Structure 1
């Protein structure tokens, strides 16, 4: 299941990852080559990475091209927390033999996470993610705060940051109104179909499904448990891989400057937010 609650408050608020029964078999791991850039991306993290496609998959391909390397994508199922993911996919590798990659994408650029993982370098933030409320303008024609949600059907993704926040808001005052779905995409599709009145999800998830439809306004709701400014996501490499980090940072800077990064996000209906 996606977005398992992290073991620390900081990681819990700064992550949107995937959690599944197990990693791919070691036999499925691509063979290492000197001319290859191995990039780890999460499974079932739409619109960033799902079944080898998405923003992060396209970003990985663009970075490999700029470095003059062949891309080897390593999709993986997240562990119980980000420390597991960094160990398995960046600095050590999974005990089943899958990984490590040369670089992992979609890593929260968070000081607590950095301090807890001295074996890696977390760098190159390329987007700022945030949680937003999207509502049906038909069923909730005006919105002046969370009180407007009273009696309304609210969708969230199971075991997610959004779910945690919505279920806990006001000491559980909305608990009986919350409808839980396997993914945020499914909740958003239900909103489009009229089965829900509102959905709490990440801004990227909302934009990728609703594509700016004016029938579904997006609200910035100041929930106490969420950082108002959102959180930056970037990359991670093994600590001693200084030269690769330098080259990846330079490639990302070039993509941001010439509009290529913006185009990668726009392909999936998402507006890139500069860190």
Structure 2
């Protein structure tokens, strides 16, 4: 009887160890494996940030386009899977990766140390350039950043520009909006005095709106601040696969070609 109890006890212990090992193995499964098994790469984007990601009429169809979309397609091709673009407001982009609704996020994201605590990031694919948009008839009113004190300054909620504006535009009322198009509309209507955003994005809006211009002023961007791709924390295999694509596209100039191609489409952008 004692031997039977001992055998049962050993069996229970072995089973527990086996389950623990299986659980540990599952936790260590890299995101790359899951993506390839389902045959699809789901990419979170906020399509209101031309030329990186935006909506445009292509052959009469409402289509999400941009240099980041081309980058996403290149990554999907490298992984041998289909690409699925998941659109949302910018402040939900990172959260969608964390909660598993998207595999990665490519949406003009900037690297920060705080973000790196919760996500893995790719090698950078574009160095950040900052711009401030103002009404064309008031451009001469801004000679220094101090002139924005007491002004309403729009930014994209959750963006690096929101942080930079709060740090550098002393006395300004920084208004964080979920959609960049809303910020531009409010600038045109006089509800905002300025909008802080990426320079290529600003250039696209200026090209479509003659009543706004790019100020000669800009915020100071930290050295090394650049656009990166976000993915779940502890995804070394996925990161290695993505970095392979990013490095190639940057070094051979292909990503710059993506930006040039996207810039040509901004004239058909859907607001």
Calculate the TM-score normalised by the size of structure 2. 0.59
Structure 1 or 2: larger helix share? 2
What's the CA shift for 1:195? 8.1
- Between Structure 1 and Structure 2, how many residues are aligned? 219
Q: Distance in 2 between matches of 1:32 and 1:243?
A: 11
Answer yes or no: is the 8 Å Cα contact 2:129–2:199 preserved in 1: yes
- CA distance change for structure 1 residues 67 and 221 in 2, over 3 Å: closer, same or farther? same
- Does residue 87 of structure 1 match 2:98? yes
Partner of 2:268: none
- Say which SS state the counterpart of residue 141 (structure 1) adopts: helix
Partner of 2:132: 133
Q: For structure 1, which runs of at least 5 residues remain unmatched after alignment? A: 1-30, 271-275
- Does residue 123 of structure 1 match 2:127? no
Answer yes or no: is the 8 Å Cα contact 2:153–2:192 preserved in 1: yes
Q: Distance in 1 between matches of 2:156 and 2:230?
A: 27
Q: Distance in 1 between matches of 2:88 and 2:178?
A: 18
Higher relative contact order (CA 8 A, sep 6+): 2
Q: Which stretch shifts more, 256-265 or 153-162? A: 153-162
- CA distance change for structure 1 residues 181 and 67 in 2, over 3 Å: closer, same or farther? closer
- CA distance change for structure 1 residues 218 and 229 in 2, over 3 Å: closer, same or farther? farther
Partner of 2:10: none
- CA distance change for structure 1 residues 159 and 32 in 2, over 3 Å: closer, same or farther? closer
**Which of 68, 86, 107 is equivalent to 1:56?**
68
What's the CA shift for 1:78? 6.0
What's the CA shift for 1:136? 4.2
**Which of 91, 99, 113 is equivalent to 1:111?**
113
- CA distance change for structure 1 residues 126 and 168 in 2, over 3 Å: closer, same or farther? closer
- CA distance change for structure 1 residues 235 and 147 in 2, over 3 Å: closer, same or farther? closer
Structure having the higher Rg = 2
- CA distance change for structure 1 residues 258 and 49 in 2, over 3 Å: closer, same or farther? same
- CA distance change for structure 1 residues 135 and 121 in 2, over 3 Å: closer, same or farther? closer
Q: Distance in 2 between matches of 1:236 and 1:196?
A: 31
Q: For structure 2, which runs of at least 5 residues remain unmatched after alignment? A: 1-33, 56-63, 265-271
Q: Distance in 2 between matches of 1:146 and 1:180?
A: 19
**Which of 72, 91, 100 is equivalent to 2:84?**
72
Calculate the TM-score normalised by the size of structure 1. 0.58
Answer yes or no: is the 8 Å Cα contact 2:130–2:197 preserved in 1: yes
CA deviation map 1:194-227 (0-9, x unaligned): 88764333324312212499972333444xxx64
